[in-house]
Structure 1
Amino acid sequence: MSLETTISDAIKDAMRAKDKLALDALRAVKSQVLLLKTEAKDAEVSDEQVIAILQRMIKQRKDSYDQFMAQNRTDLAEVEDAQSKVIAKYLPAQLSPEELEVELKKIISETAADGMKDLGKVMGIASKALAGKSDGKSISTMAKQLLS
């Protein structure tokens, strides 16, 4: 079953359960998926594309959370945090820092990277290989530590 179908089923479940928070978050995801389909003029959207949408939406909600907390608007911040947790349920399992380090060491050895000058090469491969499993910021931070 595709990730898009899983999200559609989750919307139905949230409707039945009258879970407004989950319903709002999942409808936003569905909206972004439909926008992508319309722009691409494609009937099918791959799971990788949906994962990219999910990651982008989580990042947006975390940014909003930080802004609301800076303005002492905890009521709005809590909504953003809760929605990001709902959306995160549909991402693949995230790599732990130790697992991320192991994967990056493999990539570094495969590319024969030997310093910060090769960061771009490592990041290009790592971003594609670890898409959905870790966010770009974590990958970048760990890659910089390993290459320096």
Structure 2
Amino acid sequence: MTTLKAQLKEDLTAAIRERDELRSSTLRLTLTAITKEEVSGTSARELSDDEVLKVIGKEAKKRREAADAFADGGRTEQAEREKAEGEVLAVYLPKQLSDAELDAIVAQAVQEAKAAGAEGPRAMGQVMKIVNPKVAGQAEGGRVAAAVKKLLAG
């Protein structure tokens, strides 16, 4: 079984052979981020696939935020490029939950928190503790928090 990092390297080699500039530069930057993560800290180490996924997730989030910033600034070309890079990375990430799926998980967590005696806006932390492990990697923290707030307010 090949590791996710090895898969990224293979895909990078293929992208370079195919002269796919977008894919090769995106994968190169992502592999650099992974290497940087591996050498940070007290000793260099090999990242697990889960840790590599977190790095890819961070990189994809950066692309989304940059795309939004460029779009807001009227720089459509750069925004499109960032979006395209994000799509290259999305291939390696777990499928994101739909709004309906996320709402269902959050609703169940709100019920659990209420059963434990937590209600209203103060229950936010407890609900987040229940939801986060269930949606790990499948929904961004900001999206989860917004869904929790919406349900607790309602």
1:21-36 to structure 2, matched below 5 A, reads 21-36=22-37
Matched with 1:128 is: 133
Tell me which amino acid in the other structure corresponds to 2:139: S
Query: Structure 2 CA distance, aligned partners of 1:136 and 1:4?
Result: 24
1:62-141 to structure 2, matched below 5 A, reads 62-111=64-113, 112=116, 113-141=118-146
Could you tell me the TM-score, scaled by structure 1's length? 0.88
Partner SS, residue 140 of structure 1: helix
Larger radius of gyration: 2
Tell me which amino acid in the other structure corresponds to 2:98: S
Tell me the number of residue pairs that the alignment of Structure 1 and Structure 2 aligns: 148
Partner SS, residue 132 of structure 1: coil
Query: Structure 1 CA distance, aligned partners of 2:49 and 2:64?
Result: 22
Query: Structure 2 CA distance, aligned partners of 1:37 and 1:121?
Result: 32
Gap runs ≥5 in structure 1 = none
Query: Structure 2 CA distance, aligned partners of 1:29 and 1:107?
Result: 34
Query: Structure 2 CA distance, aligned partners of 1:98 and 1:28?
Result: 33
How far off its partner does 1:8 sit?
Answer: 1.6
- Identity, % of aligned pairs? 30
1:51-70 to structure 2, matched below 5 A, reads 51-70=53-72
- Which structure has more RCO (C-alpha within 8 Å, separation ≥ 6)? 1
Gap runs ≥5 in structure 2 = none
How far off its partner does 1:108 sit?
Answer: 2.8
List per-residue Cα deviations over 1:62-107 (Å, max 9, x = no partner): 2211222223222211111110111111100111112112222333
Query: Structure 2 CA distance, aligned partners of 1:136 and 1:98?
Result: 16
Q: CA RMSD in A?
A: 1.7
